[in-house]
Amino acid sequence: MKHSLLIFIGLLFFGINANSQLSLTKFKNAVTSTTGSTNTQSSSLNSNSNSSTSNVNTSKTTPKFSAPGREWYVSRTRGTGQLGTKEKPAKDLGNIIHHLKPNDIIYIAAGTYTSKGDRGADEINVPVKIYGGYDDNFTTRDPWGAYKTIFTGVNEYMKSTDPRIYIRTDQQREDNGQLSEGSEIVVDGIIVDNGPRNRYHENKDLAIRRQASPPSGQNPAPESGGIVITPSKYTNITVKNCVVMNTAPTQGALSVRVHKGGKALIQNNFCINNTGNAIQCLTGYMGSDPNEIPEIIVSQNTTLFTWKHDAIASYGGNGCKLDQNLKVTLQNNVFGFGHMGGVYSQSTPLLMNNNLFTGNSKYDLKERNTMMNVNEILDESVNLDQNSEGNESAVIKINVDPRWANIYGSRKEISRADVDAAATASNSGANQLRSMLGLNLQGNSVGMDAEVFLPKITIEEGLPAGLLPWNGKGCQKPTFK
C-alpha cells in the first residue's frame, strides 16, 4: 500500500463575508485582513468583533434574515430555565433552539452538552452565530484548553442519529412566500465528539456498528456528520476553531454546502478519527454565472485518520472532498492518513498552496479517476490553478496517545476482493431456477466486519495532535486576547 512506510514511521513517533461580486483573490485578501492571526482573536461579547468574515451583502439579504438578533448565553453548570441571559443562562443549546431568531448570537461556556433530552443532535433553521469555549462568567475563551465546549450525546435506542450540529436555512420563507436569503452563519470554538453516541461491537470501543440493537437498547452509530451547514442563497459561512472526532458519516464530518453567491471560510479546525470525508465542500448552485459561483477557502486545518465508510467500502476515507461548481482555495492545511487519500476534487477549479500531505493510502490528490501523489500534482492535474505552489509530503510526528496509536497500528484491513472471494453460491431453490433461466447465481452473505474500525479516541488522547502546526501548516490551539 502506498505510503505504508510513512504510516509506520508516523505512528512510531506517536506521534475563510464579502459581497457576491468579489473575486476569489479579493476574497482571500478579505479573509486575511479580517481574521488576522489564527492565534490572536477578539473575544468581545458586546460587538460583532467575533465575526470571522467581512460584511454581509445586505442588498441580497431579505427582510427576515436582515432583522437584528439578540444574544444568548448557555452554561452547563449555571444554566437553568430559558431566559438565556448572561445572568441566567440556559443549560443547553437544545433547550432554547425553539426561541432562536435570525442573526441571534449564542455564547456557550465550557461543559459537556448532550442536547434537550439527551437526544444528541441540534437542528437550527435560521442563520445564527455560535461561539464556544468560554468560562462560566463569559469573560475568557480557551476552547481547546481550560474551557472546552463539548457537544456529544448518549447511545440509547431511539435517540437521534442526525448531525450533532445541523444548521439549515434554505427552507425558510418570507411573508410573501419567497425563500429567505442572505445573512451569515458562524460556528466557532465547539468540540464535537460522537464517541459516546456510537455503538461499538461488544462495547469494546474498537469497531463501530451501523445497525441498532433493540434487545440491548443501543442505537446504531450515527451515520451523520458533526457539523453540517446547508444555507440559503447569498449566505456567508464561517467554521473555525472547531474539533470534530469519532463521527461516522457517509459524507462529511465537517460539511459545508455553499449556495448561489455565498462564500465560506473553513479555518483552523481539527478533524481526527472520522469516516467519510473529514472536510466536505458542497455546492447548492447549478448555474453558470461566474459571479454567483460559491467560493470557499479551506485554510490551516488538520485532518488525520479519515476512514472509509466501512471496512470494505471503496468510498470515503478522504481528508477533503470538493464538489463541482465551486471555487476553492486550499492553503496551509495538513491532510494526513486518509484511508483513500488527501483531497478528492470532482473537477473543481482549485488553488492549492502550501499544504502538507502525509500517510495517505492511495493518492494525495484525485481528480475524477486520476490519482496523483504530491510530486505529480503540478504536472498532471487538469483543474489546478497554475499558480499553486509549496505543496509537500513529509513524515510528521503525531502526538496521539500510545494506547490509541497501538490499536490503530494493529488494525487489519479488509479488501473488497477478500469479500468477493469468500462469497459462494448456495444451492437454493431460487438459484436452481436462476440457473435454468441462464441468470447469475446469488451468493451467500459474508460477514467481514473489521475487528478494529474507527476505534474511539478520547479528547485527551487525540486533541494534543492538533495543538501545534507542522512548519506552519495545519491547525493550532486558538488563543484570544
**What local confidence, expressed as pLDDT, does residue 413 receive?**
73
Does pLDDT of 427 surpass 80?
A: no
Alpha-carbon distance 289 to 243, whole Å?
A: 35
pLDDT at 58: 75
Reported as a single tens digit per residue, the pLDDT across 12-36 is: 333 433 333 333 344 445 444 333 3
For 353-388, give one letter per residue: b (16+ CB within 10 A) or e: bbbbbbbbbbbbbbbeeebbbbeebeeebebbbeeb
Question: Which pLDDT band, with edges at 50, 70 and 90, does 1 fall under?
Answer: very low
Asked whether the predicted pLDDT for residue 52 surpasses 70, the reply is no
pLDDT of 449 = 58
For the stretch 115-130, pLDDT in tens is 999 999 999 999 999 9
Percent of residues, the chain, with pLDDT higher than 90: 76
- The pLDDT value recorded for residue 56 is 67
Per the DSSP assignment, residues forming a β-bridge with 350 are: 328, 384
Q: Which of 286, 298, 242, 287 is nearest to 130 (CA)?
A: 242
Q: How confident is the model at residue 98 (pLDDT cuts 50, 70, 90)?
A: very high
Indicate if the alpha-carbon torsion angle 181, 184, 190, 191 is positive or negative: positive
CA 166 from centre of chain: 11
Mean pLDDT of the chain: 86
Whether 448 shows a pLDDT value over 70: the answer reads no
Listed range (35-49, 123-137, 463-477) with the worst mean pLDDT: 35-49
Neighbouring CB atoms inside 10 A of 77's CB total 10
pLDDT at 387: 95
The whole-number pLDDT of residue 423 equals 40
Among 331, 337, 300, smallest CA distance to 318 is for 337
Dump pLDDT digits (tens) for 312-354.
888 999 999 999 999 999 999 999 999 999 999 988 899 999 9
The predicted pLDDT at position 410 comes to 86
